[in-house]
A = this chain, B = another copy of it.
Amino acid sequence: MPMPLAEHSATIEDVARRAGVSTATVSRVINQSGPVDAATITRVQTAMRELKYIPRTAARNLASRKTNTLGLLLTDIQGDFFAPMLSGVESAARAAGYDLLIATTNVRAPRAPFPSILGPQNTDGLLVFINSLGSAGLEHYHELGFPVVLIHQSSPEGLNIPCVTVENKAAAKKLIDHLIEVHQRRHIAFLRGPEDQQDSHWRALGYKQSLEAHGLAVDPGLIASGEFDRAIAAHAVKQLLESGVEFGVLDALQHAVKRVPEEISVVGFDDQRLSAYLTPPLTTVRAPTERVGSEAVRQLVQLIQTRQADPLTLLPTEMIIRRSCGCVLP
């Protein structure tokens, strides 16, 4: 039969009384915020232990006018992304002495009357994940001078909000370079993500740059919209095939999907968990997602504490070569 507990638990005053000191002194030993006699420290610590004292966060926050909390704004579900990202954010935040408050929103379907869930009222700064906030929201925080760091999304023009993301363009370029240089591919279709998504924007650019660098024409007919969606992507590929594109290989693909990578090479982004177990194993680009998270925290903490951060942090990716591109591995 549990009882209301808040009333029963010790406050700083109880500790002070038991240790025979003032609450100011107790506060000093808790926060190491001022000189305290060694013997006094011991007495206070003993009292805290005996009373199982834990400072109430709300009281500290109110008195110190800080929340010591970081906010993380997320969209619904990010697939394999999620776990490493959160892990990076959480451990970095904790290590820097901050709590982590999480909320999910979506630019496309804003839930609550905007800026209210996470903001100056409950956090010292915010990590904003791609697509969780529109530019109106970002502007709002900007006007307040409230620290925000963007993840996988660059700042709206003029606001100069620091951003942490991944080398998408270079990665796409490397991937296409590989197909062209190592596997002599010349007709390379590109299944791109949403237009308004920055990751896919940069990847498309990398794709084009690689083609151009090799003197190959960019054929708009070879760029289809996959929208990062299974069904849409499948449909797009079908269209590509039916459109009569001059592709012996694609025709072959249509009738004998198994001819990967002999007739057609396939490469992808995001090294998902079972990528290595597909048939054939998929060559992909792996992003340092956990580091993106921790790096974003680092920037945010810096922004909070020094009022400045790096405008853009671009983390390198890694190309994971497997069978699907045509490489023969031991």
Contacts and interface: CB of A to CB of B under 8 A. Distances in A.
A86 interface: yes
21 contacts: A2-B147, A4-B145, A5-B144, A9-B120, A54-B121, A56-B121, A58-B59, A58-B122, A74-B90, A76-B91, A78-B83, A80-B83, A83-B83, A86-B86, A94-B103, A94-B111, A100-B102, A101-B101, A272-B273, A274-B278, A278-B279
Nearest to A123: B57
Given A61-B58, A273-B274, A104 B83 contact: no
Interface residues of A, number: 58
A235 interface: no
B67 A77 contact: no
Given A103-B90, A145-B5, A62 B65 contact: no
Contact of A277 (B58, B82, B145, B274): B274
A6 interface: yes
A137 interface: no
Nearest to A307: B2
B54 A119 contact: yes
A5 B62 CA distance: 15
Contact of A102 (B84, B102, B116): B102
Interface string A108-151: 00010001110111100000000000000000000011110000
A244 interface: no
Contact of A275 (B54, B56, B90, B274): B274
